[in-house]
Structure 1
């Protein structure tokens, strides 16, 4: 029941389905038998819920529209269609539209990160190989990276995989190991060429010597990722694309190193001539000196004092186990990941009037503005990009899904920050300053600040159940301390 001073919650054990039945609910029964029914103290009507809801964007009244893509549509394509549509919309003076909380921005950043890592990795692999091996061998071995990725993604798409945040994570993981088998094959072929064999014979000899260990190495890596494909539940649905992408790329990498790479190396001569060949000879001489003067003596010493070597290894394993058992090495499902924003979910006492919740939300927005002004005066740049608030609704979002809590006593305030490379303060530090500035708001039941990208919920959650409300309240108060 909604009144001027707040909402009053009424409970009845009997089931009611329409306004007529609810009107007959007894609220008070006096000792002389007089009954005050719900229809006597209020108006009961069927209809949609008449809930108070206010949206504020950068201090102005706003309407938030959430757009979801269909399962068969791509995120980038959906965004392009939306932007084309918005470009053709003409609004009256004083009304504007803006895209906020665009998840494709995060996806685009991850794609760019993967591309940068791939290009940088390709360059490092090529540079490392060309310093130690022939230019021809370095070129064809480095080419295994794009070939393996393109072929692996083609195979993964057959099994329903798509380019998303999780599959991009898998691509970044496999980037560091995809070229290992090609490097082993190429280096062994080069060593056979140094021994004086013809390109064809050197390729055949080098491949035969390492085909088995290369195949075994890739197979063991595949087997390490394979169990992830059998993970059940919501988590299994999320990470199932990881083994598909990784295994597909590793399979193509193995085929490329055993069949395609040898075909390129078996014909023609070396490409390294002139200054490049001289540089390679100098690097090779330095490597040989390091091997003979440092590496070999260390290996001989480790073999000679084998019991000491084994003791040091055992001590290292024991220290690792102790660090884990004592909690110094913690286990977390997802590491803390900074987001480009801070969110406050404000919950007032049950039954609090909407005006009280609105005052609390406005106080939180003013506190964020004061923190932004102080940081701007100190660093010369303001970290806050935009602010928004929804009063009367709070959306709880986790990697497993989201839910909305509607009511006059809830509000959600979001402060979006500039990109991390454009500000001098981390979002977690902004959260701490904002939390301190807000302080204790009168009438609040809880204030939850979140500055991380992934929110899995509470670390520990306790649920109490009892048929007696008084016993339940007493238990909750005892648990709260």
Structure 2
């Protein structure tokens, strides 16, 4: 992401230098000496260039305070961009005036160059005069733009990873049977016309965490978008329906590859998780059943999973005194039990 920060900053880091250089060039055209033009030209724009740089820093630097995987992504980008823009400001108000004073001369100014900017200045002047003469209209348009922005902000969906057609998806299964059921799913994946290739793993899933032996996933690579008529979401919906009708008794979920990887990095493999905390398992189970029934009625909900528990556990408390009478230590008893 640091390279992404540099790519974004390329256009920003030259802005201050270009603006200061142009103003020094304008002062040369007014007949001032290079030292005087460099000093006055830089002094006039010191406030504006500092303000524009500060605006960029105020926008990007807070993103570096984000936590989790999102913070890991944005911290390097924001730090790189912020340092680059800040250094460009320093060079624009120190190094550029020195170079201008050293290498520019009054003869460097060309009157012909003003022909390109004069029409722009005239249009800009007319626009400013019109805005000052019709202040109510300008205020009304500004207010409407702000209200439109607020409206769109409250209506548009937000998220770290937008939904897109990645050209592949991960099919995860949770089952107590053997490979025979997985072979039935593989046959249906293979018969899908959009499938280019796939691989299956049993006893492991795509990610960084250890999984149970009765879990696995099928990583499917679909054909390029130009070679298929349906999107990845449509393919997933079709395959989900086939599995639910023909391969009962399993828990299955579909998720695209990047979403699955981001979820594993965050330690939350499911796109949306609702966690309940409490001291009574019976009360939590009852609350989970009530909430689950309401969640499943929400339009668009698929691959719902109810109460998820960890692997079964048995806790042994070793009586060290009794073990000592038999000539055993607690570690030796633990090794025998395990």
TM-score, structure 2 normalization? 0.69
Cα distance, 1:234 vs structure 2: 5.2
Give the distance between the partners of 2:9 and 2:93, measured in 1 at CA.
19
Q: For residues 469 and 306 of structure 1, what CA distance do their matches in structure 2 show? A: 61
Q: Is the 8 A contact 1:361 1:391 kept in 2?
A: no
- Deviations for 1:24-81, whole angstroms, at most 9, x for unmatched residues? xxxxxxxxxxxxxxxxxxxxxxxxxxxxxxxxxxxxxxxxxxxxxxxxxxxxxxxxxx
> How far did 1:428 drift?
8.3
The SS at the match of 1:217 is helix
The aligned residue for residue 344 of structure 1 is 170
Which of 33, 42, 59 pairs up with 1:198?
Answer: 33
Aligned residue in 1 for 2:217: 411
| Cα contact 1:182–1:253 (8 A) shared by 2 | yes
Which of the numbers 92, 116, 119 marks the counterpart of 1:289?
119
Give how far 1:188 is off.
Answer: 0.5
Matched residue of 1:394: which SS? coil
Query: Residues 463 and 250 of structure 1: is their aligned pair in 2 closer, same or farther, counting only changes over 3 Å?
Result: closer
1:354 lines up with 2:179 in the alignment: yes
Say whether the 8 Å CA contact 1:344–1:414 is kept in structure 2: yes
Q: State the match for 1:310 in structure 2.
A: 139
**3-state SS of 1:440 partner:** helix
Q: CA deviation at 1:261?
A: 1.7
Distance of aligned partners of 1:345 and 1:270 in 2 relative to their CA distance in 1, 3 Å threshold = farther
Tell me the TM-score normalized by structure 1. 0.50
Q: 1:223, 1:437 → 2: CA distance?
A: 47
Question: Any idea what the Cα deviations from partners look like across 1:157-207, whole Å, max 9, x if unmatched?
Answer: xxxxxxxxx222322332332221111111101111111223333222211
Once the 2 structures are TM-superposed, how far is the Cα of residue 342 of structure 1 from its aligned partner? 0.8
Unaligned runs of 5+ residues in structure 1 are 1-165, 373-383
Contact 1:393-1:407 within 8 A present in 2 as well: yes
Cα distance, 1:335–1:178 mapped onto 2, change above 3 Å: farther
Query: Could you say if the C-alpha distance between residues 413 and 192 of structure 1 is closer, same or farther in structure 2, counting changes exceeding 3 Å?
Result: same
Kindly indicate whether the alpha-carbon contact (under 8 Å) linking 1:345 and 1:413 is maintained by their aligned counterparts in 2: yes
Give distance in 2, aligned partners of 1:303 and 1:314: 16
How far 1:425 sits from its partner (Å)?
A: 5.8
**Mapping of residues 261-340 of structure 1, within 5 Å:** 261-269=96-104, 281=112, 284-292=114-122, 294-325=123-154, 327=155, 329-336=156-163, 338-339=165-166
Q: Alpha carbons of 1:336 and 1:169: their partners in 2 closer, same or farther (altered >3 Å)?
A: farther
Q: Of the two structures, which has the highest relative contact order with CA contacts closer than 8 Å and spacing of 6 or more? A: 1
Does the 8 Å contact 2:236/2:254 carry over to 1? Answer: no
Distance in 2 (alpha carbons) for counterparts of 1:337 and 1:185:
43
User: Is 1:387 the counterpart of 2:198 in the alignment?
Assistant: yes
1: CA distance between counterparts of 2:17 and 2:83?
16
Distance 2:284 2:85 in 1: 59
Three-state SS of the structure 2 residue aligned to 1:414 is strand
Is 1:179 matched with 2:2? no
The answer to whether the 8 Å contact 2:28/2:106 transfers is no
Question: 2:165 & 2:220 partners in 1: Cα distance?
Answer: 15
Paired residue secondary structure (2:142): helix
**Does the 8 Å contact 1:203/1:262 carry over to 2?**
yes
Change in Cα spacing, 1:334 to 1:272, as seen in structure 2 (3 Å) is: farther
The structure-2 alpha-carbon separation of the partners of 1:478 and 1:225, relative to structure 1 and needing over 3 Å to count, comes to: closer
In the TM superposition, residue 406 of structure 1 has moved relative to its aligned partner by 3.2
Return the match for 2:188 from 360, 363, 385. Answer: 363
Mapped partners of 1:476, 1:223: distance in 2: 41
Question: 2:78 and 2:161 mapped to 1: Cα distance?
Answer: 18
Cα shift at 1:362: 3.8
CA RMSD of aligned residues (A): 3.6
* Equivalent in 251, 255, 264 of residue 445 of structure 1: 251
Unaligned runs of 5+ residues in structure 2 are 264-268, 298-338
The verdict on how the C-alpha distance between 1:463 and 1:426 changes in structure 2, with shifts beyond 3 A counting, is farther
Q: Does 1:467 align with 2:282?
A: yes
Q: Per the alignment, do residues 196 and 336 of structure 1 end up closer, same or farther by CA in structure 2, a change over 3 Å counting?
A: farther
- 2:234 corresponding residue in structure 1: 432
- The alignment of Structure 1 onto Structure 2 pairs a total of residues equal to 282
Contact 2:200 / 2:216 at 8 angstroms: preserved in 1?
no
Give how far 1:235 is off.
4.2
Check conservation: 1:181, 1:253, Cα contact below 8 A.
yes
